[in-house]
Amino acid sequence: MPENRETVEVRVDKWLQIARVFKTRSQATDACVAGRVSINGAPSKPHRNPKIGDRIEIERDGWTRVLVVKQLRDRAVPKAQAAELYEDQSPPRPPLDPLERLLRRPPVLRARGSGRPTKRERRQIGRLTDKE
């Protein structure tokens, strides 16, 4: 039985996760609570129900993503169909600042044995020096 797309009601946090804007629903909920998601210019709470034609703005990593709702779904869809749920009117993503790019890298791990000795290494050194 095909769903009637006009009568489906879905929360905005769930829709954002189904549309693959956020990886998890809890991330979408947190963004709504933090005030980074707005519908038609008004801040949105996670429980608000978007309608077809609504303009959703998501502030993320210094970039505002603008989506216009084309379809409402309350169940997960394949990745290829997720892009059909909205029309993307976002401006191009700004390039990352070189400093920010460096800060996003994982921390450099210290090679074992370099720097100050660990407690275990100090005990081993102590055993060697006590026998002499």
- 56-108 per-position pLDDT tens digit: 999 988 889 999 999 999 899 999 999 999 999 999 988 877 777 777 766 66
Q: How far apart are CA 77 and CA 46, in angstroms?
A: 20
How does pLDDT run across 18-53, given as a tens digit for each residue?
A: 999 999 999 999 999 999 999 999 999 999 999 999
Structure tokens at 123: 């005990």
Number of independent structural domains in the chain: 1
The reply to whether 73 falls in a domain is yes
The reply to whether 65 falls in a domain is yes
CATH of the domain at 22: 3.10.290.10
pLDDT higher than threshold 60 for residue 6: no
E strands along the chain, which residues?
Answer: 37-39, 42-43, 55-60, 63-69, 86-88
The confidence score (pLDDT) of residue 108 equals 62
The reply to whether 117 falls in a domain is no
Task: Name the residue range of residue 76's domain.
Answer: 12-95
Q: How far apart are CA 39 and CA 86, in angstroms?
A: 13
Higher pLDDT, 64 or 132: 64
pTM: 0.69
